[in-house]
């Protein structure tokens, strides 16, 4: 099959173990693959170029701004945004091929994701289908330019695809905790920089509420011990972010 007029944009930093399979999942689909690399110290850039990607080097200042810059480099109107630990399934590629982009009536599409810890597919606790806005017209879409968890802004209607992206979210529990540590630091910094007010009581309530919503309300218990641990990690994100926020504010006041 011929490649379609679609730009795949992938953000990387030290992703040599993932980038080959990520690019490989879309090589037959898109006529442009862009890797925007944050000064990797491994073979990410070399591997990406070997597999046909156009590589651009840029330091990530904050996530929203970095993503917006990356999408603006695309030559095509439509962009599929992937992270290096994501893979487009063959079924998704076929579904995207069948979209008539010029008159589809939408400015973007959400895509379901199969989130994994290691090789375990998390099917409950809100982890699936967990649709993400991943396919969009670059002139109709942008992210809020903040450090972590930027909001998405779309001009126009959003459609929904049925086939999946596979997301290898975390290699194992240790990897989950390492990322949790980094993300909570960025979350606390965002609260400080945006002037957001957060109290211990509110953070504690959100910690408890998130656990029960994920493990009970969204049936995370059906994923057994894996589902329990995911609910624990997701819930303590709130109180750890607050602890770092409290510490940062205290240090500024000294």
Domain boundary among 132, 151, 169: 169
Judge if 202 and 125 occupy the same domain: no
| Per-residue pLDDT tens listing for the chain (254 residues) | 899 999 999 999 999 999 999 999 999 999 999 999 999 999 999 999 999 999 999 999 889 999 999 999 999 999 999 999 999 999 999 999 999 999 999 999 999 999 999 999 999 999 999 999 999 999 999 999 988 889 999 999 999 999 999 999 999 999 999 999 999 999 999 999 889 889 999 999 999 999 999 999 999 999 999 999 999 999 999 999 999 999 999 987 76
CA distances from 18 to 80, 196, 220, 223, 250 (A): 17, 36, 27, 25, 40
3-state secondary structure of 60: coil
d(C-alpha 168, C-alpha 85), whole Å: 5
Cα 127-131-134 angle, rounded to 5 deg: 130
Judge if 156 and 236 occupy the same domain: no
Judge if 135 and 188 occupy the same domain: no
d(C-alpha 212, C-alpha 13), whole Å: 34
Judge if 163 and 197 occupy the same domain: no
Tell whether pTM > 0.85. Answer: yes
Per the structure, the count of domains in the chain is 2
Strands 4-12 and 78-83, how do they pair?
parallel
Residue 232 is part of which domain span?
172-253
């Amino acid at each position: 099959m011929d490649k379609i007029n679609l730009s795949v944009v992938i953000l990387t930093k030290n992703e040599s173990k993932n980038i080959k399979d990520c690019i490989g999942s879309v090589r037959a689909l898109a006529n442009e693959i862009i890797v925007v690399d944050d000064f990797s110290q491994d073979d990410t850039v070399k591997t990406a170029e070997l597999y046909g990607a156009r590589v651009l080097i840029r330091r990530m200042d904050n996530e929203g701004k970095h993503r917006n810059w990356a999408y603006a480099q695309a030559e095509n109107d439509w962009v599929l945004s992937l992270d290096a630990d994501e893979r487009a399934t063959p079924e998704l590629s076929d579904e995207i091929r069948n979209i008539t982009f010029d008159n589809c009536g939408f400015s973007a599409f959400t895509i379901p994701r199969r989130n994994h810890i290691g090789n375990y597919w998390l099917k409950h606790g809100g982890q699936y289908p967990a649709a993400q806005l991943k396919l969009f017209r670059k002139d109709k879409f942008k992210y809020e330019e903040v450090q972590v968890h930027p909001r998405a802004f779309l001009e126009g209607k959003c459609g929904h695809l049925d086939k999946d992206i596979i997301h290898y979210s975390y290699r194992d529990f240790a990897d989950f905790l390492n990322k949790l540590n980094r993300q909570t630091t960025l979350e606390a910094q965002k609260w400080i920089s945006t002037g957001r007010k957060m109290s211990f009581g509110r953070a504690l309530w959100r910690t408890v509420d998130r656990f029960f919503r994920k493990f009970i309300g969204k049936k995370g218990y059906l994923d057994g011990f894996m589902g329990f641990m995911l609910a624990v990690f997701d819930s303590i994100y709130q109180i750890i972010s607050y602890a770092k926020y409290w510490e940062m504010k205290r240090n500024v006041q000294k």
